[in-house]
Amino acid sequence: MAEQTNDGFKPVYINRLKTPVGRVGWPKLDKPDSTGQFADNKYKAYLIFDDDADLRQLKKACLDCAKETWPGEDMKKLQFPFHKGDPDNPSDVKKGEWFLGRTFINCKSKNKPLQVGSNSRPLEGGIVIRGGYWCRFAVNAMSYMSSERVRQPNGKVVTQTIKGVTFLLEAVQLVREDETFGGAGGMTTNAAADFFDDGEIDDEVEKYDLSEENDPANYGEDPANYDEDPDDGEESGADPDDLDALM
């Protein structure tokens, strides 16, 4: 388990980012995840994207956040929140077939995220966002630094420093329902209406170099994407404990 050792570290935030539409996986939106092996008492959900989803704005925000936090750092040595489901990775397989071969992110928050409908108004009539529904998220990018004790092949335990960017979940917009899978603070209602109704892509995003060499999705991955155990019927994420104080 990771340990908090980032004394004096100040995270950088890039707020109010809007994701493309994707399918929700293992949502914990009405109450925090408080049961299971990897429970961390956070609200959380995965968002799984089709291949044609435009992730440029999210990737640019992550790179900008990292570069502001660690000027001159080699971005390829950092952890980023984009993961491609790998059929040879047991952790990905346990999440479900819809994750395999698709890019996904895992977003969390200590505060209950606002949930709105396609009209950007709060959900009514007992509607519950379930795994498999199509949604978009409002997220905040946040840089973090932590340490983790890792046992080497020779048995020696060493401490490694982890630097990266993760996504904090602020709001969820239900776009449409679909066949379900994976179980069932922040923004005001008026702000959500303005936010989700704005479909413009920033000019700086259009000009940003996100070629394969500069794409953060090809760099290290946020530990929040790993060590999930959905067998208990609920998403049970595993952000390192040393991020708790920052989120």
Model pTM score: 0.72
Tally of CB atoms within 10 A around 213? 8
Return averaged pLDDT per consecutive 10 residues of the chain, 247 residues in all.
Answer: 57 97 96 89 97 97 97 96 96 93 97 95 91 97 92 89 96 96 51 60 60 73 56 33 33
Cα–Cα distance for residue pair 147/241, rounded to 1 Å: 10
> Which CATH superfamily hosts domain 13-142+166-236?
Nucleic acid-binding proteins (2.40.50.140)
Q: What is the pLDDT of residue 77?
A: 93
Q: What is the pLDDT of residue 219?
A: 72
Q: What is the pLDDT of residue 143?
A: 98
Among residues 229, 230, 222, which one has the least CA distance to residue 108? 222
